[in-house]
Amino acid sequence: MDRDEDWNEADWQLVRRSGLGPVRLAVGANSDILAEQQEEFGGSMSRWDDDEWEDRGYRRIEPTFTREGARKKSAPKKSAPRPAASPKKPAAKKSPARKPASPRLSAADRPGASARRGSRGLLGNILYGVVVLCLWAMIAFGAMLFWYGLNLPDTSGLYNTRHTPSISIIATDGEVLSHRGDLTGGFTTVAELPPHVPQAVLATEDRRFYWHFGVDPIGLARAVVVNWRAGAYVQGGSTITQQLAKNIFLKPERTLSRKIEEMVLAVWLELRFSKDEILTLYLNRVYFGGGAYGLEAASERYFRKPARALTLPEAAMLAGLLKAPSRYSPTNDIDLARERARIVLQNMVAAGYIAPEDAHLGSTAPANLQGYATRGSINYFVDWIADALPDYAGRPDTDVHVMATIDPDLQREAERVISEMLASEGAALDVSQAALVALTPDGAVRAMVGGKSYAQSQFNRAVQAKRQPGSAFKPIVYLTAMERGLTPDTSRVDRPVTYGGWSPANYSGRFEGEMTLRTALAKSTNTVAVQLAHEVGIRNVVSTARRLGLQDDLPANLSLALGTGSVNLLELTAAYAAFANGGYGVIPHGIEEVRAENGEELYRRQGSGIGRIADQRSVAYMNDMLKAVMIYGTGRNSTLPGRPVGGKTGTSQDFRDAWFVGYSADLVVGVWVGNDDGKPMKEVTGGTLPARIWNAFMTRTQEGVPIAQLPDVVPVEVAAREALGQPAPGAISSAPDSYEWEQPGFFERLFGMGGGGSGDRPLLQPGGRR
C-alpha cells in the first residue's frame, strides 16, 4: 500500500519485528490487513487513543511499503477521516469478500504461523545456549589445562627406570633367603618383543591406544556409565598414557586434582613422544607384582627368561597382572592367575590380534612358574622382615643386605612338620590351617610358618591373626599369683563359684575339690584360675600381660583368666620366653644387622631386651608348674624324654582355636591350628594336634643339642628368707617400685569385675576349654 498522510485510530496495528520491541503500524482503515488483524485482536485496538497506545508501551512507525491487493487512499479522505474501527465500517463488512486475497499473504502472516515461529524460536534459543555453554566449557578447560600445566612435576627422570632399593635377606648361615624390593630389569623396546606381548597388554588395558590423544573420551564415558549403574567405583577410564604419567610423576592418591594432572601429563606425553615410545616406556615402568617393575624384571622373576622369549600364555599371564598385581599374582593363587590369563586371551581374540584356535591352545597349556615363587613358607618371614625394615634402617637410597635371625634348617623342619600333619590329620579333624613360631629365649625368631601354603595365601597367621588363646593364657594369671606370694604348693578348692551371675565350669564337667596350684595348672582347672584372678585383681592380671608383651584386646573381667582376650601367636610365644630365660622380657625380632651395598652399617642390634619383668622366685615357681603340665597334665603327650621342658595347652570355645606353647632352655615354640573363617574343628584341643606338631618339631630339631636345665630352682637366698618368714628379694610382698599393684575395688571384690561397671560381665560361658 502507499504511504498516507492522514490516519485515524483504526489504522493502528500491532506487529512484531525482531529487535524493535512493541510498535504500532499505520495502515489504511479499509485494508485487508486491518480487517484480519482486528479479527485477531478482537477488534478492540481500534478504540485506543494515542495516550492508550503510549501507556501500553507502543510507538508509531510509518510503513513505506505497498501491499499487493490493498486499495490506495484518495486525497479527500485525508481531510475527512472516519471514526476508527466502527462496527459498521465497510472494510470490516467487506473483509469476508476479500478472502480471495488471503492466499497472497506471506507465510509469516498465515494462520498458525505464530505457533511455528515460537517453536522454531525456542529450538533456536536452546541450540544457541548449548553452543555458548560449549564455548565457555572449552575456555574453562583450556584455562584449567594451562593452570595445571604451570604446576607439572619434574619430568626429567622419565627414562630413569630405577625405583626404591632392593633388599637381600640373608640367613644365619649366609644363605640368601630372598631378594625383595622394587626389582627392575633391562630396558626393552616394543620392536624387540614378540608381537603377542604388546598385543596382550593393549587388548586388556587400552584397545584404542593408537587412536586417542592420551585421554580416551569413549573409555571415560563407558566407565562413568558402568560405575553409575554399579553404584560404586568398579571400572576406570585411564589410558596407557595416563597410567604411565601416574606411575612416573604422580602420587597414588585418588583426588580430582591428581586426575586432572594425570590427564594434562598424558596429553603432554602424546605431544612429545610417538605411540611406540610411550608403550615402551610403559612396559618398562609398570608394576607386575612380586617386587618386579618392568616387563624384563617380571619375565625373569616369574619365568626365568628374557622378555623377548615370552610365549603367548606367559604374555597373557603377565598382562593379566596389570589390573591387580597382588590379587592376580601367580605366587598368591596360580589358578586365579591362569583364569585371568584366559580372559586376556579372549580379549586378544576380540581385538583381532590372535585367532580363536591360538587362544584355545594358550588356555589348555597355561604358563608355569619357574622363579622364586616355588620357594616355600620362608616368604612369611621375609614379608614380616620387609615390613619392619624401615623402623630399623629408615629408607636408604641404596640396595641393602639384611642379616636375619632365621635358621634355614629349623625353617625347613617347621614347614615339613606343618605340611605332613595337615596332610595326614587335617581333613579328618576339620583343620585347614596351622602356624608355628620358634624363637630363642632372647626373642630371635628362628623359624616362622604363617599358614599351610604361602602360594595359596600370603596372610601370615603367626603375626596377623588375632585369636582367643583359651587356657594358654592361664600362666599369666598364675604368674600374677606367684608375685603376690603364693607358691605351687598353695592349695585351692575346685568347686562351683559364681561371680556377677557367671559360673565357670571345667572342661571335664566335674569338680575335684582341694588341690595344689601346681595340679590346678597342670590339669587346667578353670574354677581355680578364675578364683586366683579374683583374688589378685583382674586389672593386675592385665598389667602382668602387658609386661610380658601382650598388647592386644584384653577385657578387664574375670573371663580373661580363661583366655577370652585376643592375641597373636608371635606375641604369646614371646611371653613364654620370659619363663625360659629367667624372667626377662623380650621383643621378638628377625633382624640382627643391616648394611648398605657399599658395606656401610645402617643398623646393628644391641642390648639384650627390655630387662627383668618378673622376679626369680616367681619364674622358678612358674617353671616348676609348667613342667608338671608336661609330665602329668594336659601336655603329657608332648614331653621330650631326658630334656626339661615346660608348656601349656589352650583351646577356645567350640574348638575354634587350639594352641600349644612350650619351651626348653634353648628354644621357645608356639603352635596354633584352626580355620580362617572360625569354623569349629572336631574336638581338637591344645593337647592333641598342636601338641603333636610341637613334639615332632622339637624332636627333629633338638636332637644333638646339649641338654640345659630350666630356671626352676628357687635361689638359695630366697629359700632361706622364706624359711625365716621373711620376704624374698624382689617378692611382691615387699612392694618393689618396679610393680604397681592395684587393689580390687568394692565391685571387683563383690562381682569379680575389672572396675568397668556392669558392662564388664564375663564373656565366656560355663564349660571353658583347657
Annotated catalytic sites, by residue?
205, 471
Going by C-alpha positions, the residue among 633, 588, 635 that lies closest to residue 610 is 588
Residue 763 CA to residue 765 CA, distance in Å, equals: 6
Task: Tell me whether residue 758 is exposed, middle or buried, using C-beta atoms within 10 angstroms of its C-beta: 0 to 12, 13 to 18, 19 or more.
Answer: exposed
Residue 237 CA to residue 217 CA, distance in Å, equals: 8
Measured CA to CA in angstroms, residue 698 lies from 406, 579, 663, 692, 695 at distances of 16, 18, 9, 10, 5
SS3 content of the chain, % helix, strand, coil (to 5): 45, 10, 45
Task: Tell me whether residue 747 is exposed, middle or buried, using C-beta atoms within 10 angstroms of its C-beta: 0 to 12, 13 to 18, 19 or more.
Answer: middle
Residue 764 CA to residue 504 CA, distance in Å, equals: 8
Phi, psi of 60 (to 5 degrees): -95, 135
Going by C-alpha positions, the residue among 326, 294, 321, 299 that lies closest to residue 184 is 294
| Angle CA 427–429–430, to nearest 5 | 65
Instruction: Judge contact between 1 and 31, C-beta under 8 A.
Output: yes
Which H or E run contains 513?
strand 513-516
Which H or E run contains 515?
strand 513-516
CA 610 to chain centre: 34
Which H or E run contains 25?
strand 23-26
| Angle CA 150–249–183, to nearest 5 | 165
Residues 6 or more apart whose CB falls under 8 angstroms from that of 495 comprise 511, 513, 527
Each residue of 441-472: b (16+ CB within 10 Å) or e? Answer: bbbbbbbbbbbbebbeebbbbbbbbebbbbbb
Q: Tell me the longest C-alpha to C-alpha distance in the chain.
A: 154
Which H or E run contains 299?
helix 295-303
State the CB neighbour count (10 A cutoff) for residue 718: 20
SS3 assignment, position 610 = coil
Instruction: Judge contact between 754 and 557, C-beta under 8 A.
Output: yes
Task: Rounding to the nearest 10 degrees, give the CA dihedral for residues 612, 618, 620, 625.
Answer: -130
Q: Which residue has the cell 608371635?
A: 570
